[in-house]
């Protein structure tokens, strides 16, 4: 490893020997960080600088991640876990190194606990299919919350329908926190699974996951945490959380799209049936029947997203080098600025006032439809999202068909938040008087 005068470290990729540039210890300098993300410098709509505030949907990718993908395809590409030639061994090593880095990133006991999937959605569907269909019986209860993303709701609806199980929901209170008293009351011996979102993609609420997991485990329920909006933004340790399953997506944490993770406890993964059948997930196959490979391969049928695992590994390297505690602290600062600045605009209502919250800030502006606002902001170079955020039941609870949402990551700047607020003020003006 070498370190240049700017503090950047260059390491050799263990698989292909090529260099990977990592940010240095002085890297929380925002301008230096932004140098690692060329896309943040693109200009949109006739030369407007881009303010990318849609990070809950997907984050941008650091050059180190893009380089790792390039290096992989240029120098290491082959299929994994099968051929014996040089490149096949390099590719297998690179792929498995990705798994090792992911395991270390969330403090999993080992690589056996890390199943690669396409993303959070597939990870949750895997548990519903492979664990749920085997262990859920008629009359069993599954506890979810009212703030779930559709991906932690619909798979359980399908399972409950098939198995005659009952879904129960922890209510969301006015401030965007979960009703913890109601949660405790729902925890009866009938409950077999508790699945909940760690950080809401709409309200930004950080749920007390460790305590919720402990309460569920005390009654013998299996626990699944949707970490799509937590793992990228704060230190998350499965050892500390104590959950049985944790699901998250690579693309929301600097990694490529199409790669995600299911962490699972050894004993549970071993007890579950396969998710999909095909190559790689078998031990022995006859014409009539098959036996399964050991975990995690049992759940990884077919050729996996090899470069995705390599890219996700590079993403965890980048985040680890920055320090997840610093990533979190920086986002907390930006979130505070965003909430204060938006709250100062008359007619702006922010949803989610949890004492502990993340940088997903949903809001509405009096007199401006969220979709119009997002379109207007886009013309100003400010990228935000509008819509139901894949959480229709939650929005319905707040009486809203849609909201606007700015979502932050460590590479954002206070100036970008100012530009958002400026766009909001201008949109209000425009929709009130028809002037720009």
State both tokens at 298. 């049992």
Give me the residues paired with residue 261 across strands.
116, 248
Stretch that binds ligand 7TS, among 117-125, 171-179, 265-273, 310-318 (CB under 6 A): 117-125
Report the nearest approach of ligand 7TS to the CB of residue 149 (Å).
Answer: 4
DSSP character for 132? I
Site membership for ligand 7TS, residue 119 (CB under 6 A)? yes
**What distances in angstroms separate CA 45 from CA 16, 81, 343, 379, one per listed residue?**
40, 46, 28, 6
> At its nearest, how many Å lie between ligand 7TS and the CB of residue 117?
9
Q: Contact 215/182 with Cβ under 8 angstroms?
A: no
Q: Are 403 and 390 in contact (CB under 8 A)?
A: no
In the three-class reduction of DSSP (H, G, I as helix; E, B as strand; rest coil), residue 306 is classed as: helix
* Least CB distance to ligand 7TS at residue 153 (A): 10
Binding mask 199-238 for ligand 7TS (x = CB under 6 A): --x------------------------x-xx---------
Q: Is 59 in the site for ligand 7TS (CB under 6 A)?
A: no
- The CA distances from residue 176 to 72, 170, 207, 387, 395, in Å, are 43, 12, 10, 18, 11
Q: How far is 240 from 263, CA to CA, in rounded Å?
A: 14
Catalytic residue among 16, 76, 243, 390: 390
Task: Out of 62, 64, 113, 249, name the contact with ligand 7TS by CB under 6 A.
Answer: 249
**C-alpha distance from residue 2 to each of 16, 39, 302 (Å):** 17, 26, 38
Q: Determine contact, residues 388/401, Cβ cutoff 8 Å.
A: yes
Residue 56 binds ligand 7TS (CB under 6 A) = yes
Q: Pick between residue 192 and residue 385 the one whose CB is nearest to ligand 7TS.
A: 385
Contact 362, 373 (CB under 8 A): no
Coil, helix or strand at residue 153:
coil
* Of 13 and 389, CB closest to ligand 7TS: 389
Q: How far is the CB of 409 from ligand 7TS (least distance, A)?
A: 13
> Is-catalytic flag, 76?
no
Stretch that binds ligand 7TS, among 35-43, 114-122, 273-281, 412-420 (CB under 6 A): 114-122
Closest approach, Cβ 44 to ligand 7TS, in A, equals: 19
3-state secondary structure of 387: strand
Contact with ligand 7TS (CB under 6 A): which of 224, 312, 368, 389? 389
Q: In terms of CB distance, is 16 or 193 closer to ligand 7TS?
A: 193
> What minimum distance in Å lies between the beta carbon of 229 and ligand 7TS?
5
List the one residue from 57, 154, 268, 337 that touches ligand 7TS (CB under 6 A): 57
- Between 20 and 403, whose beta carbon lies closer to ligand 7TS? 403
Dihedral sign for Cα atoms in the order 372, 378, 343, 391:
positive
Alpha-helix residue ranges (DSSP H) falling in 18-153: 30-35, 63-71, 86-105, 120-126, 133-135
Instruction: Report if residue 154 touches ligand 7TS, rule: CB under 6 A.
Output: no
Residue 378 DSSP SS3: helix
Q: Given the rule CB under 6 A, which residues bind ligand 7TS?
A: 56-57, 119-121, 149, 151-152, 197, 201, 226, 228-229, 249, 385, 389-390
Residues annotated as catalytic are 390
């Amino acid at each position: 490893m070498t370190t240049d005068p700017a503090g950047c470290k260059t390491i050799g990729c263990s698989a292909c020997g090529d260099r990977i540039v990592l940010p240095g210890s002085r890297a929380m300098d925002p301008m230096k960080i932004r140098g690692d993300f060329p896309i943040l410098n693109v200009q949109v709509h006739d030369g407007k600088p881009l303010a990318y505030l849609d990070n809950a949907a997907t984050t941008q990718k650091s050059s180190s991640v893009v380089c790792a993908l390039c290096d992989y395809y240029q120098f290491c590409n082959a299929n994994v876990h099968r051929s014996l030639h040089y490149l096949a061994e390099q590719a297998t090593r690179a792929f498995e190194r990705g798994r090792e880095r992911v395991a270390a990133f969330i403090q999993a006991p080992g690589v056996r606990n890390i199943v690669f999937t396409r993303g959070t959605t597939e990870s949750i569907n895997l548990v519903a299919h492979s664990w749920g269909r085997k262990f859920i019986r008629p009359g069993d209860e599954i506890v979810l919350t009212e703030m779930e993303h559709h991906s932690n709701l619909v798979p359980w609806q399908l399972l409950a329908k098939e198995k005659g199980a009952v879904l129960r929901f922890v209510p969301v209170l006015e401030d965007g926190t979960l009703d913890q008293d109601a949660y405790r009351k729902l925890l009866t011996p009938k409950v077999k699974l508790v699945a909940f979102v760690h950080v809401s993609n709409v309200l930004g609420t950080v749920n007390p996951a460790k305590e919720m997991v402990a309460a569920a485990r005390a009654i013998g329920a299996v626990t699944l945490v949707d970490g799509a909006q937590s793992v990228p933004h704060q230190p998350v340790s499965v050892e500390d959380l104590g959950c049985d399953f944790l699901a998250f997506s690579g693309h929301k944490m600097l990694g490529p799209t199409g790669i995600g993770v299911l962490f699972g406890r050894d004993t549970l993964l071993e007890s579950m049936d396969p998710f999909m059948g095909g190559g790689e997930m078998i031990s022995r196959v006859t014409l009539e029947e098959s036996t399964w490979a050991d975990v995690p391969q049992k759940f990884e049928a077919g050729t996996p997203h090899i470069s995705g695992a390599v890219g996700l590994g590079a993403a965890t390297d980048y985040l680890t080098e920055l320090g997840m505690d610093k990533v979190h602290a920086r986002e907390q600062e930006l979130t505070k600025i965003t909430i204060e600045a938006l709250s100062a605009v008359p007619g702006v209502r922010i949803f989610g006032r949890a004492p502990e919250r993340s940088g997903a800030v949903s809001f509405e502006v009096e007199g401006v439809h969220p979709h119009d606002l997002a379109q207007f902001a886009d013309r100003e170079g400010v990228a935000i999202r509008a819509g139901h955020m894949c959480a229709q039941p939650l929005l319905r609870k707040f009486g809203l068909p849609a909201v606007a949402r700015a979502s932050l990551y460590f590479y954002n700047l206070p100036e970008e938040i100012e530009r958002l607020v400026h766009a909001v003020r201008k949109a209000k003006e425009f929709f009130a008087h028809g002037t720009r």
